[in-house]
Structure 1
Amino acid sequence: MSKIIAVVSGGIDSVTMAYHLRAQGHELHLLGIDYGQRHRRELACARLAAERLGAPYEEADLGGARGVLRGSSLTDPSVDVPDEGHPGGAAAGGGVAVPGRPNIVPNRNALLLSAAFALAVVERAEAVAFGIMAEDIGPSDTSLEFLDAFLTMERIATRGHAHPDLDLVAPLSRLLKREVIALGDRLSVPFADTWTCFRGEELHCGRCASCVERREAFVAAGVHDPTVYAAPAVAAREA
């Protein structure tokens, strides 16, 4: 049993991760991070998850970084969130979208993990937990290589201040999205109180890449999706 700083966005993956770690008997301290994201309402879901788990919750305000994270539809109000299957990300009012990758926030995970490790030092936690899943693992800041390198850096940066065995864990990294949902279902994760949509409006839009992935994963897992979507599923994806 360890004391763990769990980076929880309020989405399915990170909330399921928190429930999974609690079921394993770990002491949790949840950290939500406002980095200027358009879908900031996810943080209310992170806070609610902490309340239900009886765990402390803190929120790091990095919203001032929004200006240097321009070009992403998630942080730049001048860039539209594209519908899944469309290159999208059209800029309005002079904004410039990241070519072909409008939903990518440059270096985001390094920002989130830096805040988490700072809190780990303060709380004398033994680990930081990050909720990436198998489909997230890519060539950049979602790669296992990145996580290994980041941990090496943090052990140097916090030497003499942090727990001597400080670790970085990604307990869902071998699971596909449908497997994460199946795990969450077994753990009675309240999926209706998680947030996925990049647009951050009153309802999940049902059209952005994140909403489409959410819908398809529930179907693949054979688990009831309690989410209310503003738009119906695309017929081709229902077939």
Structure 2
Amino acid sequence: MARIVATVSGGLDSVVLAHHLVDQGHDLLMLSIDYGQRHRKEHEFAERTAVRLGADYEVVDLRNIATMLPGYSLTDSNVDVPDQHYTAPGSVNVVPNRNVILLSVAFGRAAAEKADKVAIGTVAGDDATAPDCSREFIDAFNAMERVATAGYAPAELQVIAPFIDVAKSEVINLGDRLGVRWAETWSCFNGYDVQCGLCAACQDRRLAFEKSDVSDPTEYRNG
């Protein structure tokens, strides 16, 4: 059994990741990182997951960092979340360098408690718009941390991304087998009480359910 620090937002992929790691018998610390995102409602669902799984859970308060990240729909209230799917790199829905920030915090926490691994729920295709979801990025980040924490963290401590080659629809199929409660996951980039159904994250969610063998129980504001 390994001690794993996982970044779990409350989104579909990260909630399945948490279930997967616990199913494998690992000792899990779930970190939800508040970087001032407009959809911080997702953390409610991460906490529910932690309670259900009996996992340790912490919220890291980095809300003030949003003021340093203007121009993106997730961190700038002056930028609307567009009702459209991702297109080319440069989408206002992507906060460049976000995973560098999130994983640096998670890795620091893991090093401090001598954990075995850090886990992130990146899935296949995420790197099409977000370069810091790519295998190249994960490899480079681990190389950097080997230097940054040499002598202060377990030599085997590294970031793992178990779903990096797995399509979101297949992640849903796995989660269904593990008993994930889909109504208790949050994908929407907006901060509504109900997921909008139109933003890029909602469209990705809906499409993935369509491609999976699982029916989508999500309530959407727009059909």
CA–CA separation in structure 2 for the residues paired with 1:100 and 1:164: 36
SS in structure 1 at match of 2:58: strand
CA–CA separation in structure 1 for the residues paired with 2:85 and 2:100: 28
Could you tell me how far 1:222 is from its partner in structure 2? Answer: 2.4
Q: Which residue of 2 aligns with 1:136?
A: 126
Given residue 3 of structure 2, which amino acid in structure 1 is its aligned partner?
K
Could you tell me how far 1:200 is from its partner in structure 2? Answer: 1.7
CA–CA separation in structure 2 for the residues paired with 1:6 and 1:32: 9
Whether 1:121 and 2:122 are equivalent positions in the alignment is no
CA–CA separation in structure 2 for the residues paired with 1:157 and 1:48: 34
Q: Which residue of 1 aligns with 2:31?
A: 31
Q: Greater Rg, structure 1 or structure 2?
A: 1
Deviation string 1:15-69 (CA, Å, 9 cap, x unpaired) is 1011011111111110000000000000111111111110110111111110111
CA–CA separation in structure 2 for the residues paired with 1:44 and 1:200: 12
- C-alpha change, 1:169 and 1:85, in structure 2 (3 Å) is closer
More displaced, 216-225 or 199-208?
A: 216-225
CA–CA separation in structure 1 for the residues paired with 2:148 and 2:59: 22
Whether 1:103 and 2:93 are equivalent positions in the alignment is yes
CA–CA separation in structure 2 for the residues paired with 1:32 and 1:148: 23
Could you tell me how far 1:85 is from its partner in structure 2? Answer: 4.7
Which residues of structure 1 form unaligned runs of 5+?
88-98, 233-239
CA–CA separation in structure 1 for the residues paired with 2:24 and 2:56: 17
Equivalent residue pairs, number: 221
Could you tell me how far 1:224 is from its partner in structure 2? Answer: 1.6
Q: Which residue of 1 aligns with 2:78?
A: 78
SS in structure 1 at match of 2:133: coil
Provide the identity percentage.
52
CA–CA separation in structure 1 for the residues paired with 2:215 and 2:134: 30
Deviation string 1:129-153 (CA, Å, 9 cap, x unpaired) is 0110001134721111111110111
Given residue 148 of structure 2, which amino acid in structure 1 is its aligned partner?
A
What aligned pairs does 1:137-156 form with structure 2 within 5 A after superposition? 137-138=127-128, 140-156=131-147
- C-alpha change, 1:159 and 1:22, in structure 2 (3 Å) is same
- Which structure 1 residue ranges, 4+ long, deviate > 3 Å from structure 2? none
Q: Which residue of 2 aligns with 1:11?
A: 11
- State the TM-score, normalizing by the size of structure 1: 0.89
Given residue 165 of structure 1, which amino acid in structure 2 is its aligned partner?
E
- C-alpha change, 1:192 and 1:86, in structure 2 (3 Å) is closer
- State the TM-score, normalizing by the size of structure 2: 0.95
Are 2:97 and 2:132, in contact at CA under 8 Å, matched by a contact in 1? yes
| CA-based RMSD | 1.5
- C-alpha change, 1:230 and 1:162, in structure 2 (3 Å) is same
Are 2:85 and 2:203, in contact at CA under 8 Å, matched by a contact in 1? no
Given residue 207 of structure 1, which amino acid in structure 2 is its aligned partner?
L
SS in structure 1 at match of 2:118: strand
Q: Which residue of 2 aligns with 1:226?
A: 217
- C-alpha change, 1:190 and 1:128, in structure 2 (3 Å) is same
Q: Which residue of 2 aligns with 1:62?
A: 62
Could you tell me how far 1:100 is from its partner in structure 2? Answer: 4.6
